[in-house]
Amino acid sequence: MAALISPDLLKRLEQLQLLARRRSKSTAKGERRSGARGQSVEFADYRAYVPGDDLRRIDWNLYGRLDRLFLKLYEEERELPVTIFLDASESMSFGQVPKFDFARQAAAAVGYVALCGFDRVTVEPFPLGDDQLSLAGELRQVRGRKSSIRFFENLAKLKASGTADFNQALRRGAMKQRTPGVSVVLSDFLDPAGYEEGLKSLAHRGSEIHTVQILSPEELEPTAYGDLKVIDSETGAEQEVTFGKYRLKAYRAAVHNYCQRLQEFCRARGVRYQLARSDTPIDDLLLKAMRTGGMWR
C-alpha cells in the first residue's frame, strides 16, 4: 500500500468526497442521494395516505392542522458504482517514471476515496492477460474501507503488457455496468484505432466520465534526434522520421493538437478531461487538478 500511495496522502484523500452530478440509480444501499424514496434523514416530499401504508411515517402534525392523513417521504440513500478503466497495455510501461505506475497510483487514490464514501469500486484493467483474470476478479465490486488494503495489493500486482483495444475495452465495460455511475479512464489515449467509439459508448450509458490522459516526458518532448525508424511497442508498426531539435516546436504543436482534439471531444460529451505528465508528483493531480476538475471536493 505504501508503494502506491503514501500515508500522508491517504489521510488527505480520506477527507475527500466523490462528486456525482446525477443522483445514484443504484439499488444497493449507500450514502448517496438517489431518486428513490426510502429511509433516511433527508426529507423529500409528502404524499396522501393510502390504506396499507406504514402508519409510522404519517405526519401527525399535519393531520392536526389539516385533518387529513399525509405520509412524510424521505430520500433513499444509495451507493455510487465507480468504475476505473486502467490502461495496462505495453505502451503504458514507457517513461522514466512509467506511465502505468502513475496510472495505478491514480486508480488507487480514486478507489480509496470511493471506498471511504461507501461506494462500490470496480477496476477494469485492459488488456487482460490470462494470468491476470483472477486478479481482475478481485478488483471487481469492491466495497468498504476495510477492503482498501486488499484493493491496493491487487492493484500493485497488475502489470502493463500486451496490445490494448481501447474502444472495445470501454464498450465492454459500459455493457457490464448495470447502473450508470462514475467512470474514470486512465490511459495515454495513444491507440492507433482511436478513442472516440469507446468514450461514446461509455457516455451513452449515462455514466459520469472522468478521463486522465497520462503521457511521459519522452512523449511530450523527445530527445532522440537524427534519422530515426520509430517502432511501435504494441503493434510493431514502423514509422520513418527525421527529427532534430529544430523540429521540436512542430512536434510539440502536433502533440498539443492531439490532446486538444481529445479534450474537445470530451467536452462535447460532458466528459471531464485532465492531462498529466507521468513525472509530476501524484499529489498535484489528485489534490489540485482533479479537485478543480470536479472529480471530488
Partner 1 sequence: MNFLTPEALAFAATLPVVVVFYLLKRRRVARLVSSTVLWQRFLNETQASSPFQKLRHNWLLVIQLILLALAVFALTRPYFAGKLESGRFIVAILDVSASMQSTDVSPSRLGQAKADLAKLIDSMYDNDRVVLLLAGAVTEVRQSPTSAKSALRSALGQVRATDSPTRLLDAIKLAQNLTRNRAKTEVHLFSDGASPDLDEFELQDLSLAYHRVGGSGDNLGIVSLEVRPHPEQAGQQAIFATIANASTNPLASDVSLFFAGRLVGNRRVSVGATNSASLVFIASQGTNGVFRLQLKNNDALAVDNTASVLSLARRNTRALLVTKGNQFLERALRSVPKLDLAVAANLTDSEPAVDFVVLDDVVPSTWPSGNVLAIHTQSTNWFRPSGSIDGPPIVDWKSSHPLLRFVNFDNVQVAKSLAAKPPAWLAPIVESPSAPLVAAGENDGKRVVWIGFNPLDSTWPLRVSFPIFIANAAAWLNPDTRTGIRVGEPFHVRLASEEKPVTVELPDGSTRETKTTTSGELIFGDTFQQGVYTATVGTNELQFCVNLLDRNESDIRSRQSLQMGEYGTVEATVQVSADKEAWRWIAMLCLGFILFEWWFYHRRTA
Contact positions vs partner 1 (CB under 8 A): 90-95, 99, 188, 190-192, 216, 218-219, 224-235, 237-242, 244, 246-247, 250-251, 253-255, 257-258
Nearest to 184 by CA among 159, 161, 209: 209
Residue 216: CB minimum distance to partner 1, A: 7
Residue 123: CB minimum distance to partner 1, A: 22
Residue 146: CB minimum distance to partner 1, A: 37
Residue 219: CB minimum distance to partner 1, A: 6
Nearest to 74 by CA among 102, 45, 100: 45
Torsion of CA 249, 251, 254, 255, to 10 degrees: -100
Cis status, amide bond into 127, omega within 30 of 0? yes
For partner 1, which is the closer residue by CB, 153 or 234? 234
Q: Which amino acid is at 268?
A: A
For partner 1, which is the closer residue by CB, 61 or 257? 257
For partner 1, which is the closer residue by CB, 223 or 292? 223
Q: CA-to-CA distance for 140 and 154, rounded, in angstroms?
A: 11
Strand order in the sheet with 272-277: 120-126, 81-87, 182-187, 208-215, 272-277
Residue 162: CB minimum distance to partner 1, A: 13
107, 155 contact by CB (below 8 A): yes
Residue 99: CB minimum distance to partner 1, A: 8
For partner 1, which is the closer residue by CB, 74 or 251? 251
| Residue located via cell numbers 393531520 | 63
Q: CA-to-CA distance for 261 and 207, rounded, in angstroms?
A: 21
Task: Determine the distance from the C-alpha atom of residue 61 to the mean position of all C-alpha atoms in its chain, rounded to a whole number.
Answer: 46
For partner 1, which is the closer residue by CB, 58 or 255? 255
For partner 1, which is the closer residue by CB, 100 or 152? 100
